[in-house]
Structures are given as structure tokens and as C-alpha cells.
């Protein structure tokens, strides 16, 4: 039974459909003949499946010797040879000679196991890790620390309590003095760990099926309604991509496509100069959203989760050049939609959220997706803060204050999900709106308080309401 479950998980990880497995005489059958009739991506995926199986059977441990054996299985590689320190310098040729340009780093790019790494051992070191590092929490959850981060002394050891990483550490105290993020673990089949709730699925909409221009499978987010300490999927055949319901990824909105581009998309191009061509017009923006979502999901599958900013988004400092402004996840005054540095509104917050970098460039940042927000809350339902997900009375109200200053408004070690600012996401609704989540400091004036799981869609993306901010997330890049 255990073997059957493992095989099922591996097939989902690889993204290989039943028809692909059974067609063309069957991919799994052909692995006996190494790489016969397989395409480049399939060879890499099969090797990664073997790696995952080794890790599953060895408590996430994986050694150089294990990698050598797997490379020898699929490629003309001598397992007696020494692996280079930089796996991106090892060029592999498939056994049938069909491909001779596959880098070993495309198959595996993590650190090799020596002794099992735990939260405690990382804390004890009091230094940033050099490469993407897999550890195991005290409650037996896999956590991937990106290069250039570490776990500070104030982090709990259990994932259900919200394991924190930071990009700057005080080496004498072991405490964080940098940007902080919390790990949300997701299984290889895109189910939030311990919940059975999927985060995304392959796109079903006619115009989104298949792959994007970068060869990645098109995914769509799975969204949830929350009731007390449970959640119910709201995505269905009538909701999702290609509809006017709650959906992502999508930029098929009236504001994105019908307003003059100098008002909206030009604002993005001004801030994201290096990738301005991805926002040339409405059509390129639609492609950009899908590609970014696919890349994030691919990272989640490879590394076992993603990170959510512990605090609502602030900015590094007040500077004249908005293109250089970078977001922060620290205690401080959150950056709202009226701030001159990020206008116009949702588009400005979107642009700034993408500009976080760390010294190792091991992560990419983004305004939080709706499916990431729901994955975060679904994981929170497994811990001690589950009652807060749909509750009121824990947030700050009356006026905006610095994020992180309300100790009661903390879920999974993440601050201000109920009060302070309402948070824009990348989720879309109808033909005119993006979705904001949670509550804000001004809610009592409207005779209601929103819970952390609440959705707000009554305001358009160009709305001048200053009660909206955002929260950004990180997904891990291959560290070569």
C-alpha cells in the first residue's frame, strides 16, 4: 500500500497524465530502456521522481552517491567519477544520444545530506545558509530554506506554529534584524500539508489549457470559502479561468484592457523596467500572469511550499525614484494604495511587491495570490490559531498603525490578517475587480468587521480608497 501511494504521488509530481504513461508504449515501460522515445522534459522529470522516492524513503536525506546512481540510470554517466561542486557545469547525454545538453543542476540543485538538518541546528549556526537547504521541523514537516536566509532564534520549531525565516541575522543573539517570512508547506500533489486541500489544478478553461510559451503546464488556483474551522472549495466547472467568477490567474479585466495604458500598464512598466515588455499591452499582461502563476506552482511542487511575508508590505525608504523602491516585511508603517510611491492603486502595489530581492537571488517575490492566501489559512486550520481564521475581535481598529504591533492579530505567526489594512491579492472577480482579503482598521465605521478569511471585491483596481495595502510572498528559485 505504501508503495502504491508513493507511486501515485510521484506521478502527480511529474505532471505526467495517464494517457502519457500508457501511450506510446508507456513511459514507465520504456524506463527499462533508459530514455528511448522520451522527450527532454520527461527524462528530467523521471530522474527527479527517482530522487523524490529516495528522499521519501530516507527522511528527506539525499547523498551524492544516490545522485550518481540515478544519473547513471538515465544518462551516459560514470557513477565512479567525482561530481563537480557546481552541478550546472556537468552536461549530460541521454543513453540514446537524443539529448546532449541536459545540466545536472536541472535535475538536482539542493545541498546533499551529511547529518540531518533540523530547525534547532539551523538556529544554532546563527548564519545565513549558502545554498537552498532542506530541513525537517520538530513536527516532521519538510522546510526548504532559500540561499541567503536562515531561521532566527524567535522562530518556533514546529511548522504548525509558523516557522520564520529572515534575510539578516544578529550573529551574537541569533535574532532576526531583517525581512521575515513564514513557511506554508504544500505536498508534491499540491495539497496543503495535513489538510487534503489542493492549492491549484491544471487549467480546464479552453483558452488556458495546455502549456505556456515557456513550456510550463497551465495551472489555475483553487479557492475556498471558510466556515468556522473548515473550508469548502468555491472553484468549480462554472467558476475559475474563463468565467466572471472568482478566479486566477487572470488579467482579463476592464481596467487592464480598456483604460488608456498610460494610466495603468505604463505605471507597471515604469517600476519594472527590466521586464517592461511583459506589460506592453493587455494581451502580454494576460500571458505574464499565467506564466508567473505556472512558475510559482512549479516551485511549490519542487521545494514543498512557499513563504508568506510575516507583515503587511512596507517600503525600504522614501526615495524619489519609484523604480528603485523595494518592499519589506518588517514591523513598520504599511504601504497603502494612496501612497505616492506606489500609485496607481492595485497596479502600484503589484509592481512594488515584485521588487524584493535578497543577496543570493534565490527567491522571487509577488503580490499574494488568492490561492496562496487560502493555502495559508487552510494550513492555519491545522494549528492552535484555527479559531481566528473566521473570527473577529482580534484585529486593530480605529486608525492605521504599524504592521506587527497588534499581538492578538496573529495567525500562524503572521500579523494583521484581520485588522489594520485590507490586503489586495492577484485574484480576480467579475470583469472589473481584484479581490482584497481580510479586514481593515475602518471596518467598524461600516457597522461590520471582516474576518481574516473575508473577500472584498466592491472596489475596482483604480479605486482611491486608502484602506488597502497588500502582502507579498516568496517562491524559491533553483540555486545554481
Instruction: Report yes or no: 355 and 367 within 8 Å, Cβ to Cβ.
Output: no
Whole-angstrom Cα distance, residue 240 to residue 221? 8
Phi, psi of 75 (to 5 degrees): -130, 165
pTM: 0.78
| pLDDT score at 323 | 61
Across 155-228, where does the E strand assignment appear?
164-166, 180-185, 200-202, 219-221, 224-227
Closest CA to 246 of 433, 428, 436: 428
Per-residue pLDDT tens digits of the chain, which is 480 residues long: 344 444 444 444 445 444 444 444 444 444 444 444 578 989 999 999 899 888 877 666 788 878 988 999 999 998 778 888 889 899 999 998 899 999 999 999 888 876 668 999 999 999 999 989 889 899 989 899 999 999 999 999 999 999 999 999 999 999 999 999 999 999 989 999 999 999 999 998 888 889 999 899 999 999 999 998 999 998 666 677 778 889 999 877 766 666 555 567 888 888 899 999 999 888 899 999 999 999 999 999 989 999 999 999 998 765 555 566 789 999 998 998 888 777 778 888 999 999 998 888 999 999 999 999 999 999 999 999 999 999 999 998 888 999 999 999 999 999 999 999 999 999 998 887 889 999 999 887 666 789 999 998 766 676 667 889 999 999 998 654
Helix, strand or coil, per DSSP, at residue 150 = strand
Beta carbons within 10 angstroms of residue 125's beta carbon: 15
Helices (H), 259-315: 265-271, 282-303
Closest CA to 242 of 233, 234, 251: 251
| pLDDT score at 324 | 67
**Nine-digit cell at 285?**
499582461
Domain coordinates of the chain in residue numbers?
2-107, 119-178, 200-476
Whole-angstrom Cα distance, residue 385 to residue 382? 8
- Strands 402-403 vs 332-333: parallel, antiparallel or unpaired: antiparallel
| pLDDT score at 460 | 67
Instruction: Report yes or no: 220 and 235 within 8 Å, Cβ to Cβ.
Output: yes
Beta carbons within 10 angstroms of residue 41's beta carbon: 15
Amino acid at each position: 500500500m505504501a508503495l502504491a501511494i508513493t507511486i501515485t504521488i510521484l506521478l502527480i509530481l511529474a505532471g505526467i497524465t495517464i494517457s502519457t504513461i500508457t501511450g506510446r508504449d508507456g513511459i514507465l515501460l520504456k524506463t527499462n530502456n533508459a530514455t528511448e522515445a522520451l522527450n527532454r522534459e520527461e527524462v528530467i522529470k523521471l530522474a527527479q521522481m527517482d530522487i523524490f522516492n529516495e528522499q521519501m524513503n530516507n527522511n528527506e536525506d539525499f547523498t551524492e552517491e544516490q545522485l550518481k546512481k540515478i544519473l547513471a540510470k538515465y544518462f551516459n554517466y560514470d557513477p565512479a567519477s567525482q561530481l563537480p561542486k557546481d552541478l550546472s557545469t556537468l552536461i549530460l547525454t541521454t543513453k540514446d544520444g537524443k539529448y546532449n545538453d541536459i545540466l545536472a543542476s536541472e535535475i538536482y540543485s539542493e545541498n546533499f545530506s551529511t547529518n540531518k538538518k533540523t530547525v534547532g541546528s539551523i538556529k544554532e549556526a546563527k548564519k545565513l545558509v549558502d545554498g537552498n537547504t532542506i530541513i525537517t521541523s520538530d513536527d516532521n514537516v519538510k522546510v526548504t530554506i532559500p540561499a541567503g536566509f536562515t531561521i532566527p532564534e524567535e522562530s518556533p520549531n514546529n511548522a504548525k506554529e509558523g516557522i520564520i525565516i529572515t534575510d539578516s541575522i544578529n550573529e551574537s543573539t541569533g535574532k532576526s534584524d531583517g525581512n521575515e517570512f513564514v513557511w506554508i508547506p504544500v505536498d508534491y500533489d499540491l495539497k496543503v500539508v495535513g489538510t487534503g486541500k489542493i492549492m491549484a489544478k491544471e487549467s480546464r478553461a479552453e483558452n488556458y489549457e495546455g502549456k505556456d510559451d515557456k513550456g510550463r503546464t497551465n495551472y489555475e488556483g483553487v479557492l475556498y470559502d471558510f466556515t468556522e474551522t473548515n473550508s469548502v472549495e468555491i472553484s468549480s466547472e462554472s467558476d475559475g479561468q474563463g468565467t466572471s467568477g472568482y478566479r486566477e490567474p487572470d488579467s482579463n479585466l476592464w481596467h487592464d484592457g480598456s483604460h488608456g495604458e498610460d494610466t495603468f500598464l505604463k505605471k507597471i512598466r515604469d517600476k519594472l523596467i527590466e521586464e517592461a515588455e511583459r506589460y506592453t499591452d493587455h494581451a502580454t499582461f494576460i500571458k505574464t500572469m499565467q506564466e508567473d502563476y505556472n512558475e510559482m506552482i512549479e516551485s511549490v511542487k519542487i521545494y514543498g511550499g512557499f513563504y508568506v511575508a510575516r507583515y503587511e508590505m512596507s517600503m525600504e525608504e522614501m526615495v524619489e525614484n519609484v523604480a528603485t523602491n523595494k518592499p519589506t516585511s518588517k514591523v513598520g508603517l504599511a504601504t497603502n494604495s494612496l501612497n505616492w510611491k506606489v500609485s496607481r492603486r492595485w497596479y502600484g502595489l503589484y509592481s512594488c511587491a515584485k521588487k524584493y530581492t535578497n543577496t543570493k537571488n534565490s527567491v522571487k517575490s509577488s503580490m499574494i495570490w488568492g490561492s496562496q492566501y487560502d493555502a495559508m489559512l487552510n494550513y492555519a486550520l491545522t494549528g492552535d490559531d484555527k479559531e481566528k481564521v473566521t473570527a473577529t475581535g482580534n484585529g486593530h481598529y480605529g486608525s492605521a498603525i504599524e504592521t506587527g504591533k497588534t499581538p492578538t492579530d496573529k495567525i500562524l505567526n503572521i500579523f494583521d490578517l484581520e485588522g489594520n489594512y485590507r490586503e489586495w491579492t492577484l485574484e480576480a472577480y467579475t470583469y472589473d475587480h481584484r479581490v482584497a482579503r481580510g479586514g481593515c482598521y475602518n471596518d467598524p465605521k461600516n457597522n461590520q468587521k471582516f474576518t481574516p478569511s473575508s473577500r472584498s471585491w466592491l472596489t475596482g483596481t483604480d479605486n482611491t480608497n486608502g484602506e488597502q495595502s497588500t502582502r507579498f510572498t516568496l517562491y524559491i528559485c533553483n540555486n545554481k
